[in-house]
Amino acid sequence: MKRPILLLAIFAATFCAGPLPVSAQTPVSKKKGVGLAERHGLGVAQLNALDVAWFYNWHADTTVKTGAKFVPMIFSEKRVGSHVVGDTVLGYNEPDNEKQSNMPVTDALAHWAAVAGKARRVGSPAMAGNPLKSEWLQAFMKGHPKVDFITVHWYKGADAKHFIRDLEEIHAKFNKPVWITEFAPQTAGSSEKEPQKFTDGQVSQFINETIRWMESTPWVEAYAWHDSKTGTSALFDASGELTATGKAYAAAKHASH
């Protein structure tokens, strides 16, 4: 008779303690990540607040010690000699943008074998523009480089249907898995000029709808919100606290279940 009494006691204790915290009920999605600009002092506290499974910092290594997985990036040909640790490496960052890695296709291809050789899987160079319309990426892919997944940056407003349509077209074009390593309604520059272009409600809805879709889409392997620092695409306010957008992104995994 001791076993039924023990089970009843456990049930009573659990019931009286109330429901488990949401974070305990729902594990962090392995897809959900963020770009973390460590040079601005961001680190473990921000990763924990956003409840992400992985992060990157546009560099090949990190000083942040956390349970979230770090994914290295070879930003440009100048960093090809960097040592990386991990089974995945991200390729050049916006080589079609003169303010980013700004690389000719010939240089990018000349160094690509060294980039791809650093890990088991390698992501394509991430375009500043639409990969489908990018002459840079088309010329790069004609060189038949090793590319295991297509890396995408997306800043076209708070329209989830537009986002989904673009990603479906990119996947159909390249027939490879996709990582969305930067996405938000606005870039940092756009947010600085028009910080209230979209409301908190519009951005939160965009987060919930896009993440629900990405979580249920097998060929979307990973995604990472881009913090605009200002406006309604920002994850943190001036004091370092989560904004309404930051809170929506932190909780968004629950919208996918």
Residue with tokens 């319309």: 133
229 with 222: CB under 8 angstroms?
no
Q: Please state the separation of Cα 40 from the chain's center in Å.
A: 18
pLDDT value, residue 257: 44
Using a 10 angstrom Cβ sphere, with 0-12 exposed, 13-18 middle and 19 or more buried, the burial of residue 6 is exposed
Instruction: Tell me the per-residue pLDDT of 211-229, one tens digit each, with 9 for 90 and over.
Output: 999 999 999 999 999 999 9
Residue 21: DSSP 8-state: P
Q: Please give the single-letter amino acid code of residue 164.
A: I
pLDDT value, residue 59: 95
Residue with tokens 């305990």: 24
14's CB contacts (< 8 A; 6+ apart) are: none
CB atoms < 10 A from the CB of 103, how many? 24
181 with 56: CB under 8 angstroms?
yes
**Positions of the chain with pLDDT under 50:** 1-25, 255-257
Please state, in angstroms and rounded to a whole number, the distance separating the CA atoms of residues 52 and 217.
18
Quick one: tokens of 255?
């919208």
Nearest of 26, 71, 25, 68 to residue 50 by alpha carbon: 68
pLDDT value, residue 253: 67
Please state, in angstroms and rounded to a whole number, the distance separating the CA atoms of residues 168 and 103.
27
Residue 150: DSSP 8-state: E
Query: Is the C-alpha dihedral spanning 238, 64, 253, 123 positive or negative?
Result: positive
Instruction: Tell me the per-residue pLDDT of 89-136, one tens digit each, with 9 for 90 and over.
Output: 999 999 999 999 999 999 999 999 999 999 999 999 999 988 888 899
187's CB contacts (< 8 A; 6+ apart) are: 155, 226, 228
Q: Please state the separation of Cα 149 from the chain's center in Å.
A: 14
Three state DSSP letters for 34-77: EECCHHHCCCHHHHHHHCCCEEECCCCCCCCCCCCEECCECCCH
